[in-house]
Amino acid sequence: MKNVELKGIVVPIVTPMNEDESINTEELRRQVNRQIEAGIHGIFPFGTNGEGYILNGEEKKLVLETVIDQVAGRVPVYAGTGCISTKETIEQCKMAEAAGADILSVITPSFAKASQHELKVHYETVAAAVPNMPIVLYNIPMRTGNALEPQTVVELAQVDNIVGAKDSSGDWDNLSAYIELTKDLDFGVLSGNDALILKALKAGAKGAIAGCANVYPKNMVGIYENYVSGNLDAAEQCQANVSALRACFKYGNPNTVVKTAVNLLGYPVGKCRAPFNCLCPEGVEALRTALESDCERGIC
């Protein structure tokens, strides 16, 4: 199995698109460099913020191969390979392995309700199909309709190549249970909620997969780097700096807010793919105001 350490701030990088919704690979390469130059610890193509839910198989392959080529080994590349069916998830995992991904992030199946037993069998079957690839479980029940319970995560942590879990439930009790129940195992927990990064680190998490890093990569990296260096005041400030941006999430899909913010900062990443591509004028104005204030304070 690939030996990749789970740590730091990983960006679920946006997927730049042209006006016709085709993939803008040139801008994707620029965004990869922007993130690495800011000190990011990993790049995660076609996660939730990368619109993996709306890309087809060939587009995912194009995005992943472009990112891997541009990263050129500088940081680990995570690939979001989870699909609704076990069969398609395995196909995507094998595609990512062949492309050269370092870690697989496998979201729970969605739409149909799955029992904990079904989820456990699903992940065990996927892991057995790609035994040389580290797998990170991905829990985001508000989007998928299926939640990975802490005890299920503990059981799956016994599988050799299931090395971690990302929790985007927004439920501190759930995230802290992941951390506490696996603390004596060779297993890493990552926060998927940007408001809980520092709290999770203090509790023993290894890092975070942070959508806001698309907007403020240096600041998000600062949460982790200041924490591990012992500068808690600076880490707290970096964590607090996220609040104005996150307050704009109430105006629409967080993916759309994040991608709109990146565009407002001057990076032509395009819109999210329809129909998830509209932000009300009030939301755009609130976002513009937040960004201007944050940039004046040197957060951008």
CATH number (2.40.30.10, 3.30.465.10, 3.10.20.30, 3.20.20.70) of 8-245 reads: 3.20.20.70
pLDDT tens sequence across 162-206: 999 999 999 999 999 999 999 999 999 999 999 999 999 999 999
3-state helix, strand, coil in the chain (%, to 5): 50, 10, 40
Active-site residues: which are they?
138, 166
pLDDT digits (tens, 9 = 90+) for 140-150: 999 999 999 99
Cα dist from 26 to 17, 123, 232, 259, whole Å: 10, 35, 38, 16
> Using an 8 Å Cβ cutoff, are 198 and 206 in contact?
no
pLDDT band with cut points at 50, 70 and 90 for residue 1: confident
pLDDT tens track for 204-233: 999 999 999 999 999 999 999 999 999 999
pLDDT of 240-270, one tens digit each? 999 999 999 999 999 999 999 999 999 999 9
Burial class (CB in 10 A: 0-12, 13-18, 19+), 129: middle
pLDDT of residue 3: 87
Tell me the three state secondary structure of residue 148: coil
Helix (H, G, I), strand (E, B) or coil at 217: helix
Predicted confidence at residue 300, as pLDDT, reads 85
Q: Examine the pLDDT at 2 and tell me if it is beyond 90.
A: no
Domain ranges of the chain: 8-245
Instruction: Name, in order, each residue with C-beta under 8 angstroms of 135's C-beta and a sequence gap of 6 or more.
Output: 103, 104, 105, 106, 123, 126, 127, 159, 161, 162, 163
Q: For residue 150, is the peptide bond before it cis, meaning its omega torsion is within 30 degrees of 0? A: no
pLDDT in tens, 75-95: 999 999 999 999 999 999 999
- DSSP for 20-54, written as a single string: TS-B-HHHHHHHHHHHHHTT-SEE-TTSTTTTGGG
Q: Are 89 and 106 in contact (CB under 8 A)?
A: yes
